[in-house]
Chains A and B, each alone.
Chain A
Amino acid sequence: MSIRSRLASYIFLMTGFLVILGGILLIGGPLVLRAYQKSLDTMDALIDIRELRSIIQRQKTSLSRYLLIDEPQELLSFEESSDQAKKMLEIIKSKEGNRLTSWYTDISEDFHASMEMATRVTRLYKGGNRAKAYDEASGKLLPKFQVLLEKVLALESAKEDEAQQMYHFSRRISEKGILVVLGVLALAFLFGMVLFRSLYRAVMKPLQILRQGAEEFGKGHWDHRIDLTHKNEFGALAQSFNTMADNVKQLQLQAVHMDRMSAVGQLAGGVAHEINNPLTAVLGQAQILLAKIAETEPIHAQIKKIEQAALRCKKIVRGLLDFSRPGQASYEEIGVNDIVASTLDLCEADLKRARVLVEKHFAESLPKVEGSSSELQQVLLNIINNALQAMARGGTLTIETKSFFKTLSIPDRRQGVPPKVIEGSWVEVSLRDTGVGIAKEHLTRIFEPFFTTKEIGKGTGLGLSVSMGIVRKHGGDLTVESGGLNRGSTFRMTLPVRKTSGTNPMRASKGGMP
């Protein structure tokens, strides 16, 4: 699961919990509030009813006293209480509003009936008919009041129960609500912890592996790779890191190769310089002798051989010096046929010794190329030497030169650098041998520095790599093909024709377009 999905689900779940919590509070809150309000209202009504009872009680007491002791003050108190009771009933009525219940009607009717009766009794009493008034009062009015008081009392206790109930209900509701909220919070906390733990493990562990890997690599352990198979962002990061590490290692290997190449070059330069002095003596003495001895003398030819060998050494040393001082080799307009011919002259003896027959197919008029004769000769010498080693039991070396016009794609040895596509005229030298050939798996590596299939001490593994370097420096390309083991191999050196060269390559080419 990707870190992004994990984070998204984490946020989604937490939001879910918040919504549930909000819902509970939105629904439960008003419910609890209503219940409390109702219990408050009931308490309020209870107080009113208690007040009503006490007023009716006062009415009853005042009326009884008035009738007993004929105290007008008591009659006033009775009337005052009656007014208060009426007002109280009105207050209760207004508070109850639409919810006027049967008990109110009942009490109200009883009260009004009692009041009517009280008016009659007080009238009888004031009119002097006291005995009748007494009878009426003790027989009807006071029991009526008593009944009314009992009703109010019953109502009072009913209201009291109701208030109690409402209070308990709202308390129960709020208690439950709190429990539910706490439960949801606990659940959210639990889920949060689980999710956080999984997220922490999904992030911290691979992060630690990545950090360790980067540290190891940073210490110079170039072979260290990060083993992280996660299919998320960290897996992708580890893969990118490993690709980068591969590239860095490749670069490091290339740097080592370059270093070795440069050391070999310096060594070659030093050796070449040391050889120059004794070579001066060999060549000089031979030429002095040649000047002194008549050409007809048999020894002249032998000394001539010494001179030739010394000249060949001179060229090789010159080539080595040019090679050890890259960029200092002198470039000039050169004919490829001449270079091939002079190179063949240099190794004529070797070719004969190896019983190798040379077949030459030179294009008649090749356009000139610009380059260093000694360097290109070095390339040809390398290829011919390889061919000689491949044809230990003799064979045929076919050398062909030609020119053509074509768009060539010249690869760059640096990784990631696209090949150069060049349209133009080219001169090609192909050297085909009938030797042991090259195994398919070696074909791609043959130009790598220090790659050799020869026995230890017989090859440096540098020849073809250096040759490739030279040809590329000339803006050309060196390729190889082979039919496989014992089927020979063909090297092709392609060089760009000098732009100012007058010869038309199309006409000059023997074979035309390849």
Chain B
Amino acid sequence: MVSQRHLQPCMVPERQNSMQFLGPHQERYGVIDVALSIQDSIVLIVGPPSCMREPYFDAYFHDNADRLFSYVLTENDLIFGDYSDTILKVLITLGKERKPGVIFLCTVCSDEITGTICDWVTEEAESALQIPVRRIRRIPICKKHAPSPEQKKYAIYLTPCSFSEHNTRSDTSGIVQILGEFEKIPKINELHAWLSAHGLQVQSPELSSSTSKDLRRLLEASFNLVIHPRGLYMAKQLETDLGIPYYYIPPTYGFDLVRETYKTLENFLGNCDNSHAMPGAKPPLPVIDQLQGLKIALGSGISGSPFELACVLSDLGIEVTSIFVEQVTEFDQRYLSLLRETTSPVKIFVTTDPDVICSKIREIEAEYVIGPDAVRFCPGVRIINPPPNEACFGYQLLPSLLDLLIHDVNTRGKPERFT
């Protein structure tokens, strides 16, 4: 928790995409952006005028400004706390005018303190409009970690499904749903293909461009596979509310771990028939001669653990000089001891530590950065984006990441500091 004892410096980032890391809980793609990514939604945000500007411009840049409405509170509103009725009227008016599939009422820190807007506002609006009207919160003052803001945001996509009238599930046997990504996982994805080979029908929702009607399909699965932690909260909700079980299989880079993952997944499926061989069982790695000696900084935000990736890259002769993470988890500890055995030391920075934030780390030795947290602290260093969804899991993950590195070295030449 970053408390007041730890003043957060608003560093002057050196590139636009670093802006998202100004605070641990304020990512650029916030709750409002997620809510507006449902194509037939509207959002009403209620709060002081200063809280309305950033959501407006985020919505504007995502071409959604026509579905975002702001209700600006005055000081008197907050003092007397008598605006709930007005908000209800606004919700009903907007609902009747715009006829959305779902309405989100977004409250901010001020309402978190005063508690003026209560659930009855959304309940009455829902009853009057006969569409889901749900509350979302944009509250940087709340620094709670569980579930993470990213998980809560992802679970917003469940909102249209939770309206009682639409909870009638059809037969879902044999349907496995992949959660954790915003975009559809294509059929050529290794996991997709492997699940299909096991006779399962794979459902991969395309959340970022769905309508409220499309999202009701999230309920139509016999179980969920979560491949990114952001999907966990949604999966847990689906398990609690509808009894849909889930299994968490974070991507791993090392082939041994990938094999282990598939084995445990087979056990989960209750299918120990080895006739479905491991997909591709250890595909050949690309020739990585030109990557030998390359210095890389890793950060959280990539698929899987940056510590595990660091171990794998070190084994391949690629030097990982620094790792930037928000926190070192228990899961990561096992890799820390492995990293200690590598020939060169690896610096680990906890990005929420004020001392790390305060000091502008200029002496990082890295020619490439992988992972958003590392991008923030290594200005001017070449960035490798994570592999596309086609190769976001399994044996494909490591080769595709190496391919991206090789492609960059081949097309742009060796980085300046590369010797």
Verify that A and B bind, or say they do not: no
Chain B residues engaging chain A, CB cutoff 8 angstroms: none
Chain A residues engaging chain B, CB cutoff 8 angstroms: none
